[in-house]
Every structure is written in structure tokens, then in C-alpha cells.
Amino acid sequence: MKDSDSDNPAGQDSEREALSQLRVKIDSIDEQIGELINARARCAQEVAEIKKRHSADGEISTFYRPEREAQVLRRAMERNTGPLDNEEFARLFREIMSACLALEAPVKVAYLGPEGTFTQQAAIKHFGHSAHTVSLSAIDEVFREVASGAAHFGVVPVENSTEGVVTHTLDNFLGSSVKICGEVVLRIHHNFLVSDITRVDSISRVYSHAQSLSQCRKWLDAHYPRAERVAVSSNAEAAKRVKGEWNAAAIAGKMAAELYDLNLHAESIEDQPDNSTRFLIIGADEVEASGDDKTSIVVSTRNEPGALHGLLEPFHRHNVDLTRVETRPSLTGTWNYVFFIDFSGHVSDSTIQAALSEVSSRVADLKILGSYPKGVL
Ligand SMILES: C=C(O[C@@H]1C=C(C(=O)O)C=C[C@H]1O)C(=O)O
């Protein structure tokens, strides 16, 4: 208690009174929010009944509607008048929708693990906490799990703002029929984690994934120049190792700290403050237009002069906004290449259809990987 309060009992009484009035108000608002959330959940159950009646197989894909969820989140943000910021506001709606969807049918999401990695964080950011997330140990496994129907959706990293593209993810699309049905961008914050028994002035080893070590190089040079940097298979694995080692620390995200009960000795130690990673949501089905979408395709050109120009020119002429072009070696022959191209728009848009039909007449092969809502959160 502050001195001024003990000197002023009348002030204390009025403060207590003001607080208790506000709490009565909060209780009453909570009651209304609670009733409204359940009213919303009942509507979702009715939606589920209609979907069940109209779907032959009763599969989850008919229950989870990425385009509708993106619209709900965008609308929540447009409506928001504060004081909560847009992202925080949408996050609350994300969780409400997640709980409503779980009532309709629980969604199973495979992700590149282990538990506690940024990919799991991305899965939860996209699907909310009511989704059932399953950790797998390789990107190929996530693709296989989705292709076989063992998981409804998968989450894999595709590019990092400082380290570039995750080539393994792109390569997996070449031999797979899975579709891209969403994207999620995560701001990557690295933290310096220690255990209860770590002697912070005697740290001689720092564990992390090689990418994270390189993303925190300057911070490590400044604070622990002599500690050995040990690259391990994931940040979560790094956190796990620190448990029980008095002279070691790990660089990892907050989820790993919580999972392995470690302390945040220093937060946000990444050299680039806007370090972020983009993840793709993969699934078995195509997604309808949400009003603000992106399309990803992969094309292989004929090995002849002007092939790349011929491929890009129709996009330019139809005023299609290309957001990314990535070149990868084709798996079919030495010195053949494929291009992964992302652009704004949905395959159901007439301009996109016109551009794509021209492109496909000029290339050896064109595969649409998916049209999906641009990341909202
Ligand atoms: C309720 C629906 O089903 C699911 C739940 C949603 C929600 O809670 O708003 C939105 C889309 C679907 O993933 C729907 O399709 O409208």
C-alpha cells in the first residue's frame, strides 16, 4: 500500500467504491459476452447440421471454411474501434471461431515439430487453441499425412525474411497433390533461455537451430562471445537440452520456454527486429474466394530463349500483381528449372483465368497449387 493511501482513509474508501462499481459493470458485461458466445456457438452447430445434410462424406473440409474465417476476422478488424488493437481484437475472434469449429467437428492439424517450435505457434495462430495439433518430424511427413487424409491440414514453413526460402517445402509440392489453403505470417522473437540451475555468468554453450543462431549472431557476439554455439535440429530440442545443464543456454521461442519450464533471461534478441517467417497451410481441397486472395502456381518452361519473359509477360499485361517468383531445379533433369509464382487474385477471377490460360499455352507444364485468403492475423 502506498503511503498516501494510508494517510488518507477517505481516499481509500472512494477508490474501493470506484473499483467495486467497475467490477460490477465488468461482471454484467461478461454475462452478456458469455450468452452471446454461446448463442454464436449454437448457430455454428446449426450450420454444421446443414453442412452434414448436404455433404456426402461428412468430411471436415466441408466444416472448416478458410475463406469464411478470413472474412470474419477481417470484418472484426474493420469494426474495431479500440482501445484493443486490431490484431489483439481479431485474435479473440480467432479463438471463438476455433471453439465453434471444434463443436462442429474437431480439426486435426499436422505440423513440422517437435512441440514448442515456431511452426506449432503458427498452427495455433491460424487455427486457434481448439484445433488438435500433431507434431511430425519432417516436412515430407506433413505432406504425406495430409495427402493420405490422416490429418485434415498441415502447417509448414515456406520463407523467412532474413534466411530466405525453405526449399524443402517448395520441392515437396512437385510430387504431391495437396493444395495450399492458407498462409500465416509469424513475427519471430528469439529469447535467451536458461534453467533454474544455470549459472548465467558461466555459460559456455548455447544451443539452437542453425538459423536461429545466425539470426542472433550480433547479440551473441556482444553478450557471450566465448560461448560455443551448438546447432541442433530445432529450437525446441535446444530448450530440452538446457534442462539439467548448469553451464548451457538455449535460443528459442516462448512456447519452448513454457514447455520445458525455462526462464527468459533475455527477450527478443534477434538482430533484425522485423524478422518473420511465412508458413503455408496445406489441405486436400480447393478454397473459395474470400475477396482478398492469393494464388500459387508452379510452372516448368521449355528450355529455350525468352522462356521466362514469355511466362511473366501475360501477368504484366493483365495487370496481375506478382508477389513472389522463386526458381528451383526441376527434379526431372539437370539444368531444367521450375518457377514457383505467387500473385494476388483467385483462380475464379476472370482476369486471373485469362492470364493463366495464356501462360499455360507458353509453358511445358503449369500446376495450380492453390488460391487462398491472404494472411489476416
Ligand atoms: C460456422 C461455420 O463453420 C466454421 C466456423 C466458423 C465460425 O465460427 O464463424 C466459420 C467458418 C467455418 O470454419 C460457417 O461455415 O459459417
The ipTM, to two decimals, is 0.98
Pick the CATH number of 191-266 from 3.50.50.60, 3.40.190.10, 1.20.58.340, 1.10.580.10: 3.40.190.10
Q: Smallest Cα–Cα separation from 268: which of 190, 188, 345? A: 190
Residues with CB under 6 A from ligand 1: 44, 47, 63-65, 68-69, 72, 97, 100-101, 104
**110 CA → ligand 1 middle, Å:** 20
**130 CA → ligand 1 middle, Å:** 13
* 4: pLDDT strictly greater than 80: no
Distance CA 215, CA 209 (A): 10
Distance CA 100, CA 39 (A): 10
pTM: 0.89
Nearest CA to ligand 1 atom 8: 97
- Is 293-373 in the same CATH topology as 191-266? no
Q: Would you give the end-to-end CA distance of the chain in angstroms?
A: 41
CATH of domain 108-188+276-283: 3.40.190.10
CATH of domain 20-100: 1.20.59.10
For 175-228, what is each residue's pLDDT tens digit?
A: 999 999 999 999 999 999 999 999 999 999 999 999 899 999 999 999 999 999
Residue-wise DSSP of 104-117: H-PPEEEEESSTTS
Pocket mutation for ligand 1, best pick of 45, 52, 97 (most atoms within 8 Å of C-beta): 97
Phi, psi torsion values for 153, nearest 5 degrees: -140, 165
Lowest mean pLDDT segment, chosen from 112-116, 134-138, 285-289, 331-335: 331-335
Pick the CATH number of 293-373 from 3.40.50.10860, 3.30.930.10, 3.65.10.10, 3.30.70.260: 3.30.70.260
